[in-house]
Each structure stands twice: as C-alpha cells, then as structure tokens.
Amino acid sequence: MKSKLNHQNLFKYLVDASICQEKDLEYLQVDAKYSRNHYWILNLPIYNIVVKQVYHKYEDILGNSISNERYIYDFLPSCPDLFYTSSLAPNILYYDELNSILVYKYSSDSINLESYYENNKSFPISIAKLVGHTLATLHSETRNSHNCYKYLTKYKDSFQYTFPYNKYIFNRIEPENLSKFPVEGLRFISFYQRYEKLKNAVIELVAHQSNCCLTHNNLQLSKILIHRQSEKLLSKTDYYDVSLIKLIDWERFSWGEPACDLGIAIAGYLLVWLNSITVHPGIELEQSLQLATMPLESIYPSIAAMTKAYINTYPKVLEDHTDFLKRVTQFAGLGLISRILGILQDPNLSNNQFICMMEVGKNLLCQPEKSFSSVFGLTVSDIIDTALHSSNYH
C-alpha cells in the first residue's frame, strides 16, 4: 500500500486520480455523520461520491472487502437475466487495486433510509413495501439465475455468509490475536461469550443456512438509498420503479439465505426504536423500552408491510423455506448483535444502552416464536394470510 487516505490528503487524491476537478472542490462537502475512518461520503450538487479503503492491517479480520465489492459490481451488469438486480448497484467511478480504494457515485436526489426516517419522523407504508419488493426481486431473480449461481459458487469458500468477526466470536480469543482485533469489540466479545444459549443460537442459525440466492448480508437502513420524493412518487403508481432505490456497500455479499437480508433490514427498524430509548440505572429495562420517544408501535406497520410485500412478490419462498419467518426473526436478532460491534465505537453509548440492545437481540435469536408478534405486531398466520391473499398465490 502506497497511499493511506485521510482527511488531509483525500481531496488531492481525488483530483490526482481525475475523479474530480479542482473546480469541484469548491462545492465538495463531507457528510460528517456517515463518514468515518477509511470511508467518506462526499456531496456534490448533482451526485454524491463514496470513497472507501481497507488498510492492510485489517484484512485478516475484514478480508479484502474492496476487492469483493468491486467483483460484484463488475459481475452483475454482465448478466442479461439480472436486469433488476444490476440496477440496484451504484456506478463505479474508480478502483485502485494497489491501495485497496474504491470510489462510486449515486444521485444527490437520493437519501439513505436511516436519514429519511430521522428527518421525517414518520414511516410511510409505501416505502416499506418498496424495500420488501426490492429484496424479494433481488432474491427471486438471482435464485433463478444459473449464471449467477455458477459464477459466485466458484468462490464458495470466499463468499459463503459468515458472522462478522466469527473466528473471534465462536472461539476463545488467544492472547496473540488480541492485537489484531479492534479494541472496541473486546467489550462486546466478553459480554457475548457469557451467554452460552445465545452463542449456540447464533452458531445454529449460521450453520443451517439454506443458501440459494445472492444476498447483500449487511442491509442496514443506511445502506438503502431511496429517492427523496419516494413517498410522493409511489403515491402516483402501483409500479415499483427500480430507479427509486439503490443498495450500496456490497462488500459482504454472498450466495446466501434470503431470510438474512430481510432480517437485517428489520433490525434496522428496531434500531430506530432502540436508539430512541433513554436508559437510566434506576429504571427497569422493561420500563425503559416502553419510554422510547419513537414507540415500537409506530414502527410495527412498516415492519409488517415490508415483510408482506416481500412474500407477496416472492411467495414461493414459503415453500422453499418452511421456517422462513422464524429465521427472519432470528436474523433480525443477529443483525442487532452484529450491529453492536459498530455502535461500540460510539463513546456516548452507555453500558445500559448496550445491555438493552443485547437483550432484545438475544430474545429474537433464542425465542423467535415468542418474540415474533412483539416485532411484527401480528401473528405469523396473519402476515402470511394477508400477503398470500393479496398475491393470489395458491
């Protein structure tokens, strides 16, 4: 690696690589909220730029995620039978193999779903349905693609789904490995490994996957881009235009299980609720959950609508995976558990907030049937019956 990007040399690198011109720098703004070490979102009047780099010292833990992501972006447009799926990916501007740097762009008319909900303080059902339809089409289209299966499974060992930091979470951490592991994750690992039932539930879930389609595997709400006027545009038509939605940051993609993507997206909605909770040592956990400024009841309809839209678009998933909704619920718990690793980098996160998120994730993983209605606001049969009725599927 010759270049190590930082806030001081980033703009110069973009100009030297002919990604931007000197005159663009006057308008270039860094999105402070979503930019972090090795990852920058830069705003221009017409489009936004994402710049990401993997440092070599993290490759043992993260793998060469830049190479992986570039791989999928190059592959998808080459398959004529994957028109919808390839349309979900952003446009690559530049790839620097030597320095493990990837640059891509997306329209400035787009906003990530996390920011959309934060700004609007509402959860339009039409947008949740769009996300559900998009994931179902991604999974059903790639499930039926022989080219996709053949190409991705050539790299079976590399592209099977793995839980983030799995070799450290599933096994005892040896002293010589401590220096390789991000410091912020050690607190989580220590807490996680005390819960044998939780650890076994994660191992069981990951070990018994039914891998059958292309999956994103890290579908946080901040990775889902929608048009800023999506609610208005969707109100004018029943057609889900692929131009209204993009999925970014595909570095963890795999030939995987469809329940994973839907579950992690649901975890994103649950985080909106959990992040609105004020936790105090003098307040019981159950009471804290009820005092959220963004009540779970306000999020129920979107989680249910997204799930029903998914099944409506891809009803055969219930035949192919008879325990589909149970596993979706567990993957939602897994999404919360894995998300904690990233959130632990926030110095403002209190120990009580951490325990609160951990407890919800643990319940979803270890007691999915019992937890289902508390997340969806409906029973399993209600979700399935409504979705299949509207799809006229028999």
User: What CATH number does the domain containing 286 carry?
Assistant: 3.90.1200.10
Q: Output the CA torsion 184→32→48→92 (10° steps).
A: -20
- At 174 the pLDDT is 64
In a domain? residue 123? yes
In a domain? residue 93? no
In a domain? residue 42? no
- At 176 the pLDDT is 64
Tens-level pLDDT at each residue, the chain (394 residues): 567 898 889 999 999 999 998 988 888 888 878 877 789 999 988 899 999 998 655 454 444 678 888 888 988 988 888 999 999 999 999 999 888 899 999 999 999 999 999 999 899 999 999 999 999 999 999 998 888 888 877 765 555 555 555 554 555 666 666 565 555 556 666 777 778 888 889 888 988 888 899 999 999 999 999 999 999 989 887 677 878 999 999 988 888 899 999 999 999 999 999 888 876 666 776 777 777 788 889 999 999 999 999 999 999 999 999 999 999 999 999 999 888 766 665 555 555 667 788 889 999 999 999 999 989 989 999 999 988 877 655 4
In a domain? residue 40? no
Triad 33, 124, 131: Cα angle to 5°:
75
126: containing domain: 110-391
- At 173 the pLDDT is 60
- At 352 the pLDDT is 62
In a domain? residue 347? yes
In a domain? residue 45? no
In a domain? residue 79? no
Judge whether 239 and 282 are in contact, CB under 8 Å: no
How many domains is the chain built from?
A: 1
- At 284 the pLDDT is 72
In a domain? residue 56? no
- At 394 the pLDDT is 41
Alpha carbon 327 to its chain's center:
16
